[in-house]
Every structure is written in C-alpha cells, then in structure tokens.
Amino acid sequence: MTTGTLITVAPTGAESTKAEVPALPVTLDELLLTAKECEALGAAVIHVHIRDDEAKPTLDQGRLRETVAALRQSTDLIVQLSSGGAVTDPEADRLAVLDAGPDMASCSMGTVNFGNDVFLNRWEFIVDLHTRMQEKGVVPEYEIFDLGHLTALQRLLGKYGLPHGGHVHVDFVMNVPGGMPGTTATLVAAEQMLRDLPEGTTFSATGIGRSTIPVMLASLSAGGHLRVGMEDTITYAKGQPVESNMQLVARAVGFAQLAQRPPLTTTEARQLLGM
C-alpha cells in the first residue's frame, strides 16, 4: 500500500468547447492560474492539452514549448504533455509533442472506440513513441483504456525495455464510451493484471463523467493514485456544473486525506516516478 497519493490534474482536454463550458481554461493565462491554484491544493502533476486562439485543440509546437516553459517558471508541477491530442491529430504531430521538452508525456497503449470516433494507436506508433521517450529522457504515463492494453504494455516493455527512469506508471482511463467501464470490479481486475508488469509498477485511475467518485474511492482503496480535472468531468454533482479545476482537486485531496494517504509533494512525486 502506497502511503501517499499522487494527484494529477487534467484541466482542459480536447473534447469540451469553451462555448459549452465557460470555466474551461483554454488560454495560457487561464492554464497558469489553474496550475498554481491546483498545486497549492495538492496536485503534483499537470496533464496538458492546449488550444489555439479560437480555443480549438492544437499541437502547435511553438505553443507547446511556450506552455512548458511558462508552467516551469510559474510552478513546481511535473509537466505531462498529452501525446494523444485530439482523435483527428496525425501521428507525426503527436510524436513531435516530445520535442517541447516535457517532464512526462502520455503513451496510449492501444486503439479504442471513443464515443462516435476512433482513437487510433497503431502498434508501430506506440513503439515509436515509447523508444523516443527513452531517447529524450521523457517519463511516460501509459494510458490504459481497456484491459487488453495492459497486455500490450507487457509486450512493449518485454521487447523494448523499461521507460526512462526505470519506473512504470500507468493511468486507467475508465468509462470512455467504447472503453472499460468505470466500476470497482473493473478496477480490481485491472489492478490484478499489474502483477504481470515489472515489480513496483504504480497506477492512477481516471473516472470519466459520472464514474469520477466511484473510481476515486476504488483507486484509493487499492493503493492507487488519482487523476481529476475538467478534461474528464464537467459536472461536480447531478445538475451542478464544475466551477473550476480547483473544485475537483480539492475533492480528490479530501478523499486522499480521509483515506490517510495525503497528497504527495512535487518532490515526493518525482521520487515515485523515477525522475
């Protein structure tokens, strides 16, 4: 059982629009304010998607570099860029995310139906992403949308070696329409499958939409960590829109403290993740 809780905030994502969700942080200034607020509450990692001047998802290299630099200057958060982007982004642009020099980047471990879309992650692309992270010294967070993705991760590590830093950390993204459900039973099954991965592998869990609270509670009870944010849910309770990412991080921190697993500091988080 891990004594502390790694809390990741995913403040923006690529799915919601600013028009539909006015509180969504889409400008650099909004993102920096969110980052500072969430760090003060107990978040240690920020999972970053960025938007263009029209608030549409983008993987523009200049904006990515500017965002990484600004977050480093303004916070001590571990900066994790999304290599997933939007489901329509080409592979070349997703690989180029690593050139922006983040501390971490996501590495999705397989293709999954994503609502009405398909989030494509070919095996060759996954291998390319994993090996480029090894070369560039970027720590991956392996994104698991379905249980079979854990078997793919076992294959990846067996053939191409451990990630930079030597520590394996995964994130169970649960309740995406088309992926694994956000239930306690599914999380238990996923956690048991970690036994086939290198000893010391850790996991976070993300509950999309209404599965947010059940997944948080299940993850804490199983020794896992938490990812929350407006990328994953825009409703705090039934009929109550999320007002800010602070609101979601504060709830996660409260649950972690009730579980007697207080939030890890950024220094402790770096030690956990092998940085």
Amino acid at residue number 162: L
**Residue 2 pLDDT:** 59
The confidence score (pLDDT) of residue 107 equals: 97
Query: Quick check: is 201 in a domain?
Result: yes
For residue 260, the number of C-alpha atoms closer than 13 Å in the C-beta half-sphere is: 1
What is the tens place of the pLDDT at every residue in 98-147?
A: 999 999 999 999 999 988 899 999 999 999 999 999 999 999 999 999 99
Does 27 map to a domain?
Answer: yes
pLDDT of res. 115? 86
Q: What is the average pLDDT across 66-93?
A: 96
Number of Cβ atoms within 10 Å of the Cβ of 27: 13
Q: Which CATH number covers residue 169? A: 3.20.20.70
Residue 2 lies in a domain: no
Total domains, the chain: 1
pLDDT at 180: 97
Of the candidate ranges 47-51, 86-90, 96-100, 125-129, the one whose mean pLDDT is the lowest? 86-90
**Residue 94 falls within a domain, yes or no?**
yes
- Is the pLDDT reported for residue 1 higher than 80? no
Domain that holds residue 223: 8-273
Query: If you ran DSSP here, which 8-state letter would residue 191 be given?
Result: H
Q: What is the token pair recorded at 173?
A: 């993204």
Residue 3 lies in a domain: no
Residues 196-202, mean pLDDT to the nearest whole number: 95
Q: Which of 250, 189, 260 is nearest to 34 (CA)?
A: 250
Share of the chain above pLDDT 90, in %: 96
Asked whether the predicted pLDDT for residue 273 surpasses 60, the reply is: yes
Asked whether residue 95 is assigned to any structural domain, the reply reads yes
Residue 155 contacts residue 128 (beta carbons within 8 Å) = no
What share of the chain has pLDDT > 70, as a percent?
99
Q: Is residue 1 part of a domain?
A: no
Say which residue the tokens 């480029």 belong to: 132
State the average pLDDT over residues 20-42.
97
Label residue 3 by pLDDT band (50, 70, 90): confident
What are the backbone dihedrals phi and psi of residue 40, each rounded to the nearest 5 degrees, phi first? -60, -30
| pLDDT tops 80 at residue 10 | yes
Can you tell me the mean pLDDT for 18-36?
96
Residue 258 inside a domain? The answer is yes
Q: What's at 148, amino acid-wise? A: G
* pLDDT computed for residue 269 by the predictor: 97
Q: What is the mean pLDDT of residues 78-99?
A: 95
User: What beta strand segments (E) does the chain contain?
Assistant: 7-9, 45-48, 50-51, 57-58, 78-81, 104-108, 112-114, 117-119, 139-144, 169-174, 202-207, 225-228, 235-237, 240-241
Mean pLDDT (the chain) is: 96
pLDDT at residue 108, rounded to an integer: 97
Measured between its terminal Cα atoms, the distance across the chain in Å is 21
Q: What average pLDDT does range 62-70 have in this prediction?
A: 97
Our measurement of the distance from residue 24's CA atom to the centroid of its chain's CA atoms, rounded to an integer in Å, reads 17
Residue 207 and residue 232 in contact, taking contact as beta carbons nearer than 8 Å: yes
